[in-house]
Amino acid sequence: MTYHVVGCSTCTDYWLAEDIRGQATADCPHCGTTHETATLDSKYEGDERAVAAEARAQLVARAADHYDAYRDFKDTHGPYAEQEQEVESGFDLVEWRTDFLSDKAENVLAEYYNLLADDATEIFAEYHNLYADEATDVFDGYHDLYADEAIDAFAEYHDRYAAEVERALSEDPDVDTELDRGTDGSIQVKHETPPVDAVPVTVDKPISRLSRVVIDNDCIQQAILTVLEDLAADYPSHELRTVLEANDLNLSETDLAALATQLHKGSERAALTIIDRLQHVATGRSSTDDAHIIPRLLALSTETPTIAATVTDEFWELRASQRRTVADYLTALSAGTDLVLVGPRLTLRNLHDDQGTRLPVSREDITSAGSHRTETIETAQQALSRDSPEEQVLRWLADQDSETLSYSALDSKLTVSDSRRRQLVGHLRDLCLVDTFGPRTNKHVELLPAGRTYLDWVDEQLARQQTLEASVSGVLDSSDDSRVTPRAHDGGREEAADRTRLPHLHTVQPLPRWNATASAASTPENGVAIVDYPLNPQADRGSPRWYYDYQQDRLTVGAEFDGPLQYWVCIARALASPRTFAAVLDDGDRLDEDDTFSTFLTDHRHILRDSRCLAHLPDAVEDGADYLDELQTAEEHLCELTRDLAHGDFEGSEAEFRSTITREALGLAGTMVHLLDLVDVEVVRQVRLPTQNSGRNDILRDDRRETLVQSLATGIAIQSKYGHAAIYRQLFETRDKKRDAAIVPSVDYDDPFGELIGSVCIVGNLGDRELALAEDLRNRLRMPQELHEDAPEIQVRVPVVATDDLDRTAFAAAVERMCAAKNLSPTRSAVSVLRLFTATPFDAAAAICGLDPESRRRDIRLDEIRYGLAVVGDARILPWETPGVQALVTTLLTAENPLSVTELTDRAGVDRTTWYDHRDRLVALDLVRETSAGVRLALPFRGSGESDVRPWFTRRDTRRDDVRVASVGGVVLELLDELTPDSETIQTVSAALQHPVDIDELQDAWPDLDGWLSTIQIATAETMDSLDDSPEFVVFGRQPDQFSLQVAATGRIQGRGNHASSP
């Protein structure tokens, strides 16, 4: 016997399974989900049950973050085997006690019997003697009264049926039990409204209730009664019983043959009894098999009723065993009815994935409509009318910079009931134009790429109509008199010419889910990432951005950086917004439930004030709700200060007042970051540098960049900690009063390093300014401010990475988190392919964002990766390549079949020479393949059934039947063979491959591969796990005069301002 410890992807619990490899499926004992055993991830496998159980206990304890409690329990009570032995011995003791008490009870009862038996016998004998004669007289009277009447009655029945019974008994007992079937049924799939004349059924309940809904319909009742009446007309009652039994038409505790016979004779009571019995099948002591008598009877009917079975999300709330019985029941119904499965395409597709072996419907029947973007748009064009409420919702989403709206924001725009809003959003989601996410209390809806494409189509149709009307009317307006700039997805509405992007009222707006996910994935732990990814300007550059991932407990806030005041005010407002207080801190309840914060607030408030430096904490604050009220007041005061600045309502110089506001904003932001850290919320700050005037952000200019890096360095120092000590107060505070009140921490010379709380992501169209920005930031971080003379010997290590430093881990994190949002499982090949075609985790997250969500979790497919890459934008595919190569590859990404060279270059809008100039390199890289059918990309076509078409080096060496090595060196050697460069290049490159590969050295040796080598290094299958991905650290603070031997031995001694070595 082999025991496995396996986990359930639905309820995330672990269970102990026996010999699962010999079974096709296995059910989770906790939630009932059925899993294919081939896909189960066995965390432990062994032959001893006690050891396997011990392994499961460890996994459960770690998952629940109670491993210390488990370890203490094990130390006290011993391992599982000893506990099991003790329990079994306890069971033996209980069994012995049970036997002992049973024998004792029998002895006691026997004593009572012997003691009272004679008395009881005497008492009953006395009653018998007393009433026997009277009882005999009464029964004799009844016998004399009714005997003659009974004899006459039975004689009449005997005379009437004797001959018939004798004839039946004398006939051949073999009865032809084969029944003629009625008209054949069918099963269809329908994504829209069910047929009007159909029997409506909702597939969201167990079989007992589902069959009740079916039989309650008058049409179904009449069809079944007609079948039974016809059978009774064709067979005598004694033969009908045999026929019903042979055709599995029995009904528990019901003589259906007798009832059918009475029905044939016109008994209305029999009809009511039959329906009543059928309405209660699969309930009580009745078997679920009894429910199938309804489909079996319908299969004998000459009529074929239509049943519309609407599949809803509630179906997945049934246990796995219940879902199987429901699927079997639907299949049985389709034998005698025209069964129409109705529901969203996604739901029906998941129904097929879950119960496809039981339902006689193919996946193609479900997924054929809308599998591709074009088909999705065509479906939307047919389903939505011009100026419909659904189109208005799409436009509201498109008008948002984040293309995201909360349900509450949508409700304020729609002014309709909640049910109507759910209907509109549900319709758009079924059409794959939008997606929804977030917990039930904080639900959001986001626009998908297909939704943007649909709006483009609508605007194009509107533009054509307007052009046609203009040409027919003959009205010619001068372009000078008509300065109208059509806005994307806006139906040609006019836009202000002097758009400042700075309205008077700035509200906190959602940050797109994919954007927030990419920001978190790009940043190293407690570090800074600088990412070259172009961002579009916000409609309001003074609007803070906010996104909370409740599953990861991660809050991401962001803002455009125009200057220190504007940025930190936005960040402070986002952090101290009602969204944060409600969704993250549960209106203060989370603070009260956190042991650290509640203890500090109650007994050690000075630590919160003078160590963590939490501001706005008066003595009157008694609990978390009180403190959030104070912070909300501080945020409102900050807004009032900015309003005074805008109105010129302040004393002193503007520069002084701006400094005051910036300090207030930095203080409030720092307080919120430290507060969220106390309750273990991860905080990511995004610094947005959008494109300005079709060029790079002005803040990147040499004369302005210092303002950016100085402000960020100060903010990082304020938002760093050493234990519970705020770093800025310890190292850089200039105010004597604050410094005197600060609690100086004891420095552990085994670990004298503090850390940045959370992470910071600087993202924008950086281009050739990225290196200068990274260098300036590193230099400024080495000395954010002047150390005060009494600063303790504490240093802070901050990892800083740029775009070229983003490793496979960053891409994998973005892919994993976005796949989770779509209910997909990431794969190694998906990460490799996304990195091969794109440069940043933002591109990878955007690609997956365009996919449809799944209700049942499964692995992401490479054809879906191809589809996602096709929507990220031409400029983001192979950004290190020439525009001509980008156009060629993007064209191949969107193609649905191989293309001829002529068709490829025409679609890409490039000369044929562009293809021939770059063909050899693209083919040698196995990115593009030339086949007899034409040129294609080395990725599966959407819906083609191809499962594993990808560049050879993204597959492990052990999973290929060739001698090539899937490493940087292996790919370069293959390129040398395929491209045959000049002899000098061959010699230089070969020499560079004789020792551990250095990417910079290889690029110098073969400049043609510039941009490709770092990409291949991450994408190749054999080197991606062995790379040294340690980020480069920047250290600031006071270097200790002495280090412990442990720190010295690990090489972690860092001089002030030097880059730290790998940790």
Give me the torsion for CA of 320, 326, 330, 333, rounded to 10°.
150
What's the distance, CA 433 to chain centroid?
17
- Mean predicted confidence (pLDDT) in 604-609: 92
875 or 501, higher pLDDT? 875
Point out which residues pair with 557 in neighbouring strands: 546, 685
Structure tokens belonging to residue 154:
């039975």
Of 102, 302, 283, residue with least CA distance to 207? 283
Structure confidence at residue 775 (pLDDT): 95
What whole-number distance in Å separates Cα of residue 277 and Cα of residue 297? 14
Work out the angle between the directed axes of helices 883-894 and 912-924 (0-180°, nearest 10): 80
Query: Which residues touch 417 (CB under 8 Å, ≥6 apart)?
Result: none
Q: Which of 241-255, 574-588, 654-668 has the lowest mean pLDDT?
A: 241-255
236 in Cβ contact with 168 (< 8 Å):
yes
Per residue in 190-227, pLDDT (tens digit) is: 655 667 778 888 888 888 888 888 888 888 999 999 98
Looking at this protein, which amino acid is placed at residue 346?
A: L
What whole-number distance in Å separates Cα of residue 965 and Cα of residue 584? 48
What whole-number distance in Å separates Cα of residue 150 and Cα of residue 328? 52
Structure tokens belonging to residue 463:
């533009």
- Mean predicted confidence (pLDDT) in 548-564: 93
H/E element holding 104? helix 80-170
557 in Cβ contact with 565 (< 8 Å):
no
What's the distance, CA 582 to chain centroid?
22
Structure confidence at residue 1033 (pLDDT): 92
Residue 370 in this model has a pLDDT that exceeds 50: no
What whole-number distance in Å separates Cα of residue 877 and Cα of residue 812? 18
What whole-number distance in Å separates Cα of residue 559 and Cα of residue 538? 9
112 or 675, higher pLDDT? 675
Structure confidence at residue 532 (pLDDT): 95
Per residue in 456-488, pLDDT (tens digit) is: 888 876 765 554 444 433 333 333 332 222 233
Structure confidence at residue 388 (pLDDT): 84
Structure confidence at residue 459 (pLDDT): 80
Residue 1006 in this model has a pLDDT that exceeds 50: yes
What stretches of 490-622 adopt beta strand conformation (E)? 509-510, 528-532, 545-549, 554-560
Provide the sign of the torsion angle of the four alpha carbons 366, 372, 377, 378, taken in this order: negative
Q: Can you tell me whether residue 286 is helix, strand or coil? A: coil
What whole-number distance in Å separates Cα of residue 915 and Cα of residue 351? 45
What whole-number distance in Å separates Cα of residue 446 and Cα of residue 509? 13
Residue 21 in this model has a pLDDT that exceeds 80: no
Looking at this protein, which amino acid is placed at residue 740?
A: D
DSSP string across 595-622: HHHHHHHHH-HHHHHHTS---S--TT--
H/E element holding 446? strand 444-447
What does pLDDT average to over the chain? 81
Structure tokens belonging to residue 861:
């497919």
Q: Give the 3-state secondary structure of 288-313.
A: HHHHHHHHHHHHCCCCCCEEEEEECH
Long-range pairs, 214-222, Cβ under 8 A, ≥24: 214/294, 214/307, 214/333, 215/275, 215/278, 215/279, 215/294, 216/279, 217/305, 219/305, 220/294, 220/298, 220/305, 221/275
Per residue in 901-959, pLDDT (tens digit) is: 999 999 999 999 999 999 999 999 999 999 999 999 999 987 777 777 999 888 887 77
Place of tokens 């909360």: 406
Q: Cα–Cα distances in Å, from 720 out to 90, 677, 777?
A: 55, 10, 16
CA within 13 Å, CB half, 847 = 32
- The rounded percent of the chain whose pLDDT value lies above 70 is 80
312 in Cβ contact with 193 (< 8 Å):
no
Give the end-to-end CA distance of the chain in Å, rounded to a whole number: 45
Q: Cα–Cα distances in Å, from 330 out to 213, 276, 356, 825, 950?
A: 13, 22, 12, 30, 40
What whole-number distance in Å separates Cα of residue 715 and Cα of residue 709? 10
- Mean predicted confidence (pLDDT) in 101-116: 63
What's the distance, CA 919 to chain centroid?
39
Structure confidence at residue 94 (pLDDT): 52
Residue 1043 in this model has a pLDDT that exceeds 70: no
- Mean predicted confidence (pLDDT) in 250-261: 85
C-alpha R_g of the chain:
39
820 or 146, higher pLDDT? 820
What whole-number distance in Å separates Cα of residue 523 and Cα of residue 41? 29
Q: Cα–Cα distances in Å, from 972 out to 708, 805, 955, 1029, 1050?
A: 41, 21, 16, 21, 35
Query: Which residues touch 786 (CB under 8 Å, ≥6 apart)?
Result: 732
User: Given pLDDT bands bounded at 50, 70 and 90, which one contains residue 762?
Assistant: very high
Structure confidence at residue 92 (pLDDT): 47
Q: Decide the pairing of beta strands 528-532 and 759-764.
A: parallel
Q: Cα–Cα distances in Å, from 587 out to 360, 462, 580, 597, 967?
A: 51, 47, 9, 15, 52
Query: Which residues touch 215 (CB under 8 Å, ≥6 apart)?
Result: 221, 224, 275, 278, 279, 294
Structure tokens belonging to residue 287:
């078997």
Backbone φ and ψ for 128, nearest 5 degrees, come out as: -65, -45
Edge-first strand order for the sheet with 3-7 is 14-18, 3-7, 42-46
What whole-number distance in Å separates Cα of residue 902 and Cα of residue 26? 53
Residue 499 in this model has a pLDDT that exceeds 60: no
What whole-number distance in Å separates Cα of residue 437 and Cα of residue 236? 63
528 in Cβ contact with 716 (< 8 Å):
yes
What whole-number distance in Å separates Cα of residue 118 and Cα of residue 292? 57
Q: Biggest alpha carbon distance in the chain? A: 131
447 in Cβ contact with 404 (< 8 Å):
yes
- Mean predicted confidence (pLDDT) in 1014-1039: 76
H/E element holding 262? helix 256-264
Structure tokens belonging to residue 428:
């758009």
What whole-number distance in Å separates Cα of residue 921 and Cα of residue 940? 21
Structure confidence at residue 1020 (pLDDT): 85
Q: Can you tell me whether residue 145 is helix, strand or coil? A: helix
Structure tokens belonging to residue 57:
């206990």
User: Given pLDDT bands bounded at 50, 70 and 90, which one contains residue 493?
Assistant: very low
Structure tokens belonging to residue 34:
């059925």
Residue 982 in this model has a pLDDT that exceeds 60: yes
890 in Cβ contact with 883 (< 8 Å):
no
Work out the angle between the directed axes of helices 256-264 and 268-279 (0-180°, nearest 10): 140
- The rounded percent of the chain whose pLDDT value lies above 90 is 33
Of 906, 895, 826, residue with least CA distance to 866? 895
Residue 578 in this model has a pLDDT that exceeds 90: yes
Q: Can you tell me whether residue 460 is helix, strand or coil? A: helix
Of 681, 769, 791, 692, residue with least CA distance to 1037? 791
Total Cβ atoms within 10 A of residue 1002: 23
Per residue in 48-101, pLDDT (tens digit) is: 888 888 888 888 888 777 777 777 777 777 776 566 556 544 544 455 555 556
